[in-house]
A and B are shown apart, each in its own frame.
Chain A
Amino acid sequence: MKVQVTHETRYNYVPAVEVAQHMAYLQPLNTATQQLLSHTLQVEPRPDQQTPALDVYGNTRTFISLQTAHAQLRVVATSIVATQARSMPASDMAWEPVRERFRYRADGDYDAAAEFVFASPYVARHPDFATYARASFAPATSLFTAASNLMHRIHADFKYESKSTEINTPALVALAQRKGVCQDFAHIMIACLRQMGLAARYVSGYLLTKPAPGTHRLIGNDASHAWVSVLLPDLPQTARWCDFDPTNDRCGWGSPGEGYIVLATGRDYSDVSPIRGVIHGGANHRLRVAVTVTPLDVTPLSGQAQIQAQSTTELP
């Protein structure tokens, strides 16, 4: 499926901001199941500097610097990507040998995915995660089955509730309150997997939320979405990650589905937050985020080419 994503971030500042620096992760990735066809990142007012570079995980991060006073900042990312229908991975490796794989031994082998076994800023280690996860990890269960089961349980046990958490809520807090948004669901699942000694990473992206005829509606965090990628070592070397979306209880190799668009992957939200910045001045600011995902394949005659999801977030 070919889709266009427009992601607009707008800040209004009172008083005007004198100097600002931002880091944006708004350019979709090229993956085995997703091709980036075109991308533009437009910043108003015109920044003094806008420098894209690859980060350590291969995501594109763009450094934006504004050195003149501005009362409003508008960042618009427009991308066209081709996504593929999901497929189910052919993986039956039990979870215990995967865990062993990441345990260091002087005579062992190195797996670069080990990086995603460790704690990260939003995903601290805690025994509570193991307590919750254990039910899904019966001995000799395949990792794929265990992870799917964990995803089902999180989907069933946790309540999706907008604004029940902040963007910087740690996984442990969300676990305790049994509710959150997609970012929290993803963090909790990652924490559970890591606590079991497995490699899991965070995926930031979008989800086409308008239901196709005859299917039920999927919940996305206002179209900006987040889910989990789990390493299945017995898959082919080039594409060993299988995606799990605990918010919608869907999984698939490459992505949980055709309507998912991958922006960036990292250890957790802190590695790939769509835009973060430091401003001088602007004591009061208002933030609006609007994401529009539009399928481009559908013939115009059917009248389906329309806004599929739109979001507005305001922070005090």
Chain B
Amino acid sequence: MHAPSVPTAAQDFAAPAAAGHFDELRGHKAAAGVPPANDLAAPWERFFDHQASDGLGDLNHRAASLERQIRDNGVTYNVYSDAGGPQRPWSLDLFPLIVTPQSWQQIEAGVLQRVALLDHVMADVYGPQQLLARNLLPPALVHGHPGYLRCMHGAAPVGGTYLHIAAFDLARGPDGNWWLVSQRTQAPSGLGYLMENRLAVSRLFPQAFEHMQVQRLAGAYRALMNNLKAISPDGPDSHIALLTPGPYNETYFEHAYLARYLGLTLVQGGDMLVRDQRLYLKTLKGLVPIHALLKRLDDQFLDPLELRSDSTLGVPGLLQAIRAGNVLVANAPGSDFLESAALLGFLPALSRHLLGQELKLPAMPTWWCGERSAMEEVLPRLAECAIKPTYPGAVDHGNVGAVLGRDLSPRELDEWAGRIARQGDEHTIQSYLPLSQLPTWQREASNPAQDGRIVPRSFMLRVFAVSKGDQSWQVLPGGLARVAHDHGEIATMQRGGSSADVWVMTRDAVDRTTLLAPALTPRAVTQRKRLVTSRAAENLYWLGRYTERSENTIALARLTLECLNGERPSSVPLLAWLGKMALANALVLPGVPGATQARRVFERSLNASLGGTDPATSVGYNLRAVRLAGSAVRERLSQEHWGLIVRAQEELAQACAAQSRSGDYSSIETLSILKAAGQHMAAITGAQTDRMTRDDGWRLLSIGRHIERLRFLSASLARGLESGSVESEAGFEAMVALFDSTITFRAQFQQVREMAALIDLLVLDRDNPRSLAWVAHTLRGRLAKLAGSEPNALSELSLRVPDPGVWNLAELCACDEDGVASATGVENLTALRDLLDQCAEAAFDLSEAIGATYFTHSGEAKQSVGA
């Protein structure tokens, strides 16, 4: 017997699209009832043909691998754009949307025409305003739109183009034709996610991808960058940065991703300043000019001097620099009014007037209710339409998102009709059609072993036009398919939808160029090398400090629990030392009885605080701090490095939460949590040591780690001496263990527990990375290099670190060369105690001095004043 071919199996397997929707898999509108056999659309037949070797059974593995890839790459979408909101992994479907060459021709031609038209409209609105005078454009959609920026009127954009990137959201109707639903120009998102989607999905279907003549994407990105460079004020050497609102923005992942992919500096408003109408980046080495900004920040936040004065995300004076022609901004500020759905109804006439052409790609019929005749026409049809705000995002207008008429009760429909009649200009009505449905692979969540299913889901397609200069654009041959959740019809990532890669097939040869830019000029190379913004520097420094602090607190917590539960009875001085250390490092809250007083209470408290939820600042807190600092310099960390940070933080948080839910704070459980966290930390520090470019940014990270280590080491030793803990056998071993030096110690000194041996290993040994001498020596070296001084010359900062070259074992042990002690007991080790004090002070001083020297300008408070 012959097994059915994979395409046939896929077809038998796949539920048909809902009746009345276009069925992508079958290539026609779905009718009610069972679909006929042998009905797969040609591209999908080819697609499944290429899966022949593995059959459909393999799709589950691929779906699992895809999820893993997304998680490991740290692709996220912040659902709510604030610090506390959840970060959700980006959701990507296994199957791509396949667009045929015929379909694409229609889309491409229509989009090219529309982006040119929008650019013309913008040029008129910020120039002669003839379109208003001719009544082709209602003033309410320009002057009445909060996104029309009066302060940009009359300012010609550098290079003459207003729109460098425009996004168009398309719907495919039941007959297979494409319709424009909305357009995004202000700061359109998706160019990063779609690239990530492509990399992930093409890897899973290599044969189909190779043989189906799928168009590559890199050429469009390259065209965009080449043009930006060509027209930027400083020509090919121009320094281009990507302006992000910061890590709390919902699409921050993609800002960091794009910056890395396109080779741009990722900047926030606070990283820059304007001088002499020019834009500069604040870096470790001073001010560096910026000539162009790829803007992912909404216009209103660009410049607190002229736009929203409460914005801390922008740069004061930026608009002045833009008007002076000294900085290119893509897109030019002020395009928000183009995004209004209300504009769609006016574009056909605008196209005839400005281009002398009919629009090739139709928009969904749209009525702006500020025009009475339009309102009267559409009000009776409200139930079949979508109600959209004319001015989305304008809080003053009290509007939220779109509402579908069919979801409203008759009473609600009446209320809407009343609202629309009263404030017609604030409402835009758009007709609605059943969205085309593409096949998606749904795994059985309950039973992963079981086969998945092919399920149709509604989608919208976002495509991008990018400028290639001189009033010409290119459509990126791909896009972002946004897939509705379940049987829903509204596809947004905010509402829990998913996405799919978009394969645009071509009959021509596939353009296989990669992004690799034409050779950089030597000047640009020198300029770009080791560019570290002051903000990145500050975050890297704290990333280093919190990484070390996490490691130390994990080690301390483990040691403490092991001592409390060990075979040997712990001495009182040892418990006193551990208690003090736990308190000093915030493993237990102040007020908790010490280990010597109420051992079990202390132990339970340590276990319960581990997750570091408010107000505790234990291990969980430190790991969150690592993640926060890391997220702010996301573009400098490798995928692996970032993935490790996320996993370390999340796994510990989940385990601690589970422990807290069960109320069972067993130390055995805590120890296993700590062990796992310790392993993650080892991998993280490995990534920091081995997988980062050793520029000044890395140097600051390393300095942060060593300052923290200096502090922890000196304080731990000082407390060990003070409590007398090191005089006991258990205390001595605990101290050695805390510094990860047990193996070294045994190798060097076997069973000798002499203070001299301890001091030699933990203070003087230049080969032990956890000795004070090693830490001090390394710090001095890093600080000297950071200051950029000649090799071996020591900078002012490095001189603040005690010089290990003058430390002397005999002196520190308070004995002569032959080991004869001048006095006995740790209380007599005054030289050692002084040294430990010096080290602790140096750690504190250095941190302050580094902050003052390298970070001051990024922390500076800006404020608005007025009279």
A residues sitting closer than 8 Å to B (CB atoms) are 9, 11, 18-19, 21-23, 48-49, 51, 53, 55-57, 63, 65, 67, 103-110, 112, 114-115, 117-119, 124-125, 167, 271, 273-283, 285, 287, 289, 313
Contacts and interface: CB of A to CB of B under 8 A. Distances in A.
12 contacts: A48-B276, A49-B277, A56-B154, A65-B276, A103-B372, A110-B132, A118-B140, A125-B397, A275-B866, A277-B865, A278-B862, A278-B865
Contacts of A115: 139, 143
A278 B864 contact: yes
Interface in B257-285: 273-277
Contact of B153 (A21, A49, A56, A114): A56
Contacts of B862: 278-280
B305 interface: yes
Contacts of B135: 104, 106-110
Given A110-B133, A117-B144, 15 more contacts: A9-B867, A19-B273, A21-B320, A49-B276, A104-B135, A104-B140, A108-B135, A115-B139, A125-B396, A273-B866, A276-B309, A276-B865, A279-B863, A280-B860, A289-B867
B151 interface: yes
Contacts of A53: 323
B456 interface: no
Interface of B: 132-135, 138-140, 143-144, 150-151, 153-154, 273-277, 304-306, 309, 316-317, 320, 323, 370-373, 396-397, 423, 425, 860-867
A104 B139 CA distance: 8
A276 B140 contact: no
A227 to B, nearest CB: 19
Contacts of B306: 23
A87 B860 CA distance: 53
A63 B566 CA distance: 72
A127 to B, nearest CB: 8
Most chain A beta carbons < 10 A, residue from B134, B275, B864, B867: B867
Contact of A281 (B138, B316, B860): B860
A216 B354 CA distance: 59
Nearest to B142: A115
Contacts of B134: 110
Contact of B305 (A21, A55, A103): A21
Contacts of A48: 275-276
A23 B867 CA distance: 11
Contacts of B132: 110, 112
A280 B857 CA distance: 9
A105 B305 contact: no
Given A109-B135, A278-B862, A23 B305 contact: yes
Contacts of B316: 21, 278
A273 B309 CA distance: 13
Contact of A285 (B273, B277, B425, B865): B865
B860 A277 contact: no
Nearest 10 CB-CB pairs, A to B?
A118-B144, A278-B316, A276-B866, A104-B138, A115-B143, A114-B139, A56-B153, A56-B150, A21-B317, A124-B396
Nearest to A288: B867
Most chain A beta carbons < 10 A, residue from B277, B317, B423, B862: B317
Nearest to A111: B139
A23 B303 CA distance: 12
B143 A118 contact: yes
A103 B316 CA distance: 37
A284 B290 CA distance: 32
Given A110-B132, A114-B143, A124-B396, A63 B320 contact: yes
Contacts of A56: 150-151, 153-154
Contact of A104 (B276, B317, B371, B396): B371
Contacts of B309: 276, 278
A67 B151 CA distance: 23
A7 B140 CA distance: 36
A278 B273 contact: no
Given A21-B305, A114-B139, A104 B370 contact: yes
A108 B136 CA distance: 10
A287 B275 contact: no
A167 to B, nearest CB: 6
A274 B867 contact: yes
B753 to A, nearest CB: 55
A9 B865 CA distance: 12
A278 B860 contact: no
Contacts of A108: 135
A53 B317 CA distance: 14
A106 B377 CA distance: 14
B150 A276 contact: no
A278 B305 contact: yes
A23 B316 CA distance: 11
Contacts of B154: 56
Nearest to B370: A104
B707 to A, nearest CB: 27
A277 B305 contact: yes
Nearest to A271: B150
